[in-house]
Amino acid sequence: MQIRKIAFIGTGIMGANIAGHIMDAGYDLTVHNRTKDKAAALLARGAHWAASPAEAAADADVVFTMVGYPSDVEDVYLATDGLIRTAKKGAWLIDLTTSSPQLARDIHDAAEVEDKHAFDCPVTGGEQGAIDGTLTLIAGISQQAAAPVLPVLESFSSKIFYFDQPGGGQTAKLCNQVSLASCMVGYADALALAEQSGIDAEKVLEVMASGTGGSGASKTLAPKSLAGDYKPGFLAEHLRKDIGLALQRSEDLEITLPGAETAFTLFDMLCQIGGSRMGTQALTLLYQEEATCAVAGLDWSLLDQGDEDEHECHCGHDHGDGHECCGGHGHDHGDGHECHCHDHEH
Ligand code: NAP
């Protein structure tokens, strides 16, 4: 099949940039996003608008999704008017969202039955990688099977890892995220120690960069933390979601991930006190005086307020029990839906 028409669903921080590269490569692009404004720049450049995922996919050879949570992925693919039913036969359905490995397998299997090709393809490289078109892709498919869509994937990436099986991309991405989360806690600890000791924290970052204590996170994010720049590149609530998915997987495997446990506690705290929509680098605010946090927009009095009903899941899916869940798969709320976030006390 010659690929000409592409649909892109989810034009947020990452999606809008990725879709721009797909347009640059000459494909005919149709976009849909929950909030239309966020597609404005693409529409101004000549992308077509669709009022729903179904409308976007109707005529598309390839449909990309880059939404927020597993619950969003589930809605877009598996709802009655979702992509599995509404995309055309033979279409490729590629999910770039960081989501649940089990959901990726479910979508792959459902698509196969309908004569469509679906695979998980989460990304790493951050907002800058999306802007530059140099993302690393982590694909849950073999290199050979993905060959027909390779030119499109290459339009916004510089490296592709193939994990050969449905859900394999998501699992590998979650491995990356638990490492990232611990690296972030590591640099936040280091900066707190430096600042409280009265030594130059910026110089400490230089030391870390020239030795083995540094990381990608300390290189790119710690300077923003030090400068008080908490604007999102990568939303704190999305990293909490990712660690929650990894911890759920670790429970399934009956292993413990102590670094991820610690990071989850800290990012959950940050989200509870008003930092959900800040960049992950706002983690260092947790180490600061309350007054400094207040200036940045955090409110410590909000901590644990959501726990009064003993429900502790924070991931964005309303179950009608006054409780929001991650929208992943694995934890039954008694409403036929399984939630995958780690942080449950039902
Ligand atoms: P974002 O800015 O929140 O973008 C997500 C977009 O999806 C939003 O614009 C949202 O609409 C839209 N959306 C959600 N559900 C939808 C639905 N059912 N139908 C249509 N549109 C829908 O987040 P992001 O930073 O781009 O991240 C997207 C995903 O990539 C997340 O899973 C994240 O964990 C992952 N990721 C992010 C980064 C990063 O550095 N930012 C890096 C790698 C991976 P609204 O505009 O209405 O909210």
User: Which residue in the list 173, 203, 224, 241 is annotated as catalytic?
Assistant: 173
Ligand 1 mean position to 244 CA, how many Å? 17
Does residue 277's CB lie within 6 angstroms of at least one atom of ligand 1? Answer: no
Sign of CA dihedral 67, 68, 74, 75: negative
Q: How confident is the model at residue 1 (pLDDT cuts 50, 70, 90)?
A: confident
69: CA distance to ligand 1 center in Å? 8
Q: Say what percent of the chain tops pLDDT 70.
A: 88
Question: Does 224 qualify as catalytic in the annotation?
Answer: no
Please tell me the distance from the alpha carbon of residue 333 to that of residue 184, in angstroms, as a whole number.
Answer: 32
pLDDT tens profile 270-282: 999 999 999 999 9
Q: Return the pLDDT at 92.
A: 98
Whose Cα sits closest to atom 31 in ligand 1?
68
Q: How far apart are the C-alpha atoms of 109 and 91, rounded to whole Å?
A: 14
Identify the band that residue 315 occupies on the pLDDT scale cut at 50, 70 and 90: very low
Q: What is the pLDDT of residues 63-110, one digit of tens each?
A: 999 999 999 999 999 999 999 999 999 999 999 999 999 999 999 999
Could you tell me if the CB of 238 is within 6 A of ligand 1?
yes
Is the confidence at residue 332, as pLDDT, over 80? Answer: no
Is it the case that residue 217 has pLDDT exceeding 50?
yes
Assess whether pLDDT exceeds 70 at residue 343: no
Whether residue 315 contacts residue 341, with contact meaning beta carbons closer than 8 Å, is answered with yes
Q: Is residue 316 in contact with ligand 1, taking CB distance under 6 Å?
A: no
* Interior angle at CA 131, CA 31 and CA 78, nearest 5: 35
Q: What is the pLDDT of residues 172-184, one digit of tens each?
A: 999 999 999 999 9
Handedness of CA 227, 231, 233, 238 (dihedral sign): positive
Check residues 336 and 246 and name the one with the higher pLDDT.
246
Q: What is the mean pLDDT of residues 209-238?
A: 97
Contact 178, 246 (CB under 8 A): yes
Q: Does any ligand 1 atom lie closer than 6 A to the CB of residue 12?
A: yes
